[in-house]
Amino acid sequence: MMLGVSAILWLIPAFSVLFGVTFATIAMAYKSEVAPRWATAGVVALAVAISADLAKPDSTELSLWVAGVGHWVAAGCMLQAMLVRHERSLPRIYLISIFALLVPIHLWSIWIGDVPPVRILAVNSGAFAIFALALVVCLRGPIDAFDKIMRSIIVVVLLLYPFRMAVYFWFPPEATPGGQLVSQYMLLIFTMVGILGVAFSMALLLAIGTDIVQRHRLDSEIDALTGIRNRRALNRQLTDANSVGGYGAVLVVDLDHFKRINDHHGHDVGDKILIAAARELDAKLSRFGTVTRMGGEEFAVLLTNENVAAGPALALSARQAIASVRLPDPHDQIEVTASVGLAFREIDQPLSDTLRAADLAMYHAKAAGRNCAFEVERRHGLLELRAVA
């Protein structure tokens, strides 16, 4: 059994190196991502620590020290990588306290006192404290499926550390009949911790990869000019089965005579107006629904079900928001207005149909002289248009 377990244990540094290369590649490719950097440091420290531990029975004082401290560094870095995904962190003061207390004890147990039980106690107590601290932190705030997996691994590891210490102190290998069997069980527990470290690395890799994909998707749904959601985001919301049920009305807002502004003042000024218009709409209406730029000078606001009754008032708010747009001198005399269309969603009606109806109402507002709002409602199978006042 000893030979088989040792062979498995030697695979852990190899897997850790592979994970390290993968995390490092991700960190270099996505320099804004913090988690891959912590993960790289963690799995490299894990590979070094286990390799140093496997040097037994020919261990030197240095390899014993590297194995112990490397164990703590690996745990701290990998757990930090898990937490920074959600902008959380291991409290530095507690980490400093753990290292300040246990590193001198660990050093003394190796180079001065040569007391293996103290070394075992220090290494396992330090790792236990770091994992327990991470568990407390990750219990706060929202978690995803990968966090649940990693949290489960943390709980199992927390159970293994005291069990390993209990086996060692209750049945000291050098003082227990059949001590070789106890050593084998100690090695088995150590191997389990290493395997859990590899499993944690895999879950962390999948979590970081998912984060990057989701962030890129969100970035692709942000309008580069105005900073609000773009047509891609709107199209996804129109088809997303999880979101369309939450919207009960649609506003379409189109800036009046925008081509004239571009022709007379230049596209730079037009872009500034679009940015200001998006900012005003988002500030005034985002709490009532989702504000998007459909393209050009046209915006859409998907109103949530609880705000449907306020639809007419919100249509007027949208028009007033655009009217409040002012640019600094020398373009402070430019007046911006908008035509607004409002459509209420019928039961089981596709949200895209509601958007088209709101677009129709907006064009009716244009035809009525611009700088006004119209709503459309279906009555007895016919569309009824009326001004919002």
Distance CA 8, CA 54 (A): 11
318: tokens are 């949208």
CB atoms under 10 Å from CB of 226, counted, come to 21
Burial 111-142 (b: 16+ CB within 10 A, else e): eeeeeeeebbbbbbbbbbbbbebbeebbeeee
Which among 250, 276, 236 has a CA at the least distance from the CA of 362?
A: 250
CB 39 within 8 A of CB 146: no
Residues 6+ apart with CB under 8 A from 40: 20, 23, 24, 27
Catalytic residue of the set 33, 221, 280, 297 = 297
Burial class (CB in 10 A: 0-12, 13-18, 19+), 34: middle
Name which of 349, 43, 60 is nearest 194 in CA terms.
Answer: 43
Check residue 18 and report its DSSP letter.
Answer: H
Q: Cα separation of 202 and 9, whole Å?
A: 17
Catalytic-residue membership of 280: no
Query: Dihedral angle at the C-alpha atoms of 170, 174, 178, 181, nearest 10 degrees?
Result: 80
CA–CA distance, 199 with 202 (Å, rounded to integer): 5
Q: Which residue has the tokens 């000078």?
A: 297
Alpha helices in the chain (DSSP H): 2-29, 35-53, 61-84, 92-107, 116-138, 145-170, 179-220, 231-239, 258-265, 267-285, 311-323, 351-367
Does residue 173 have a cis bond before it (omega within 30 degrees)? no
Which positions are annotated as active-site residues? 297
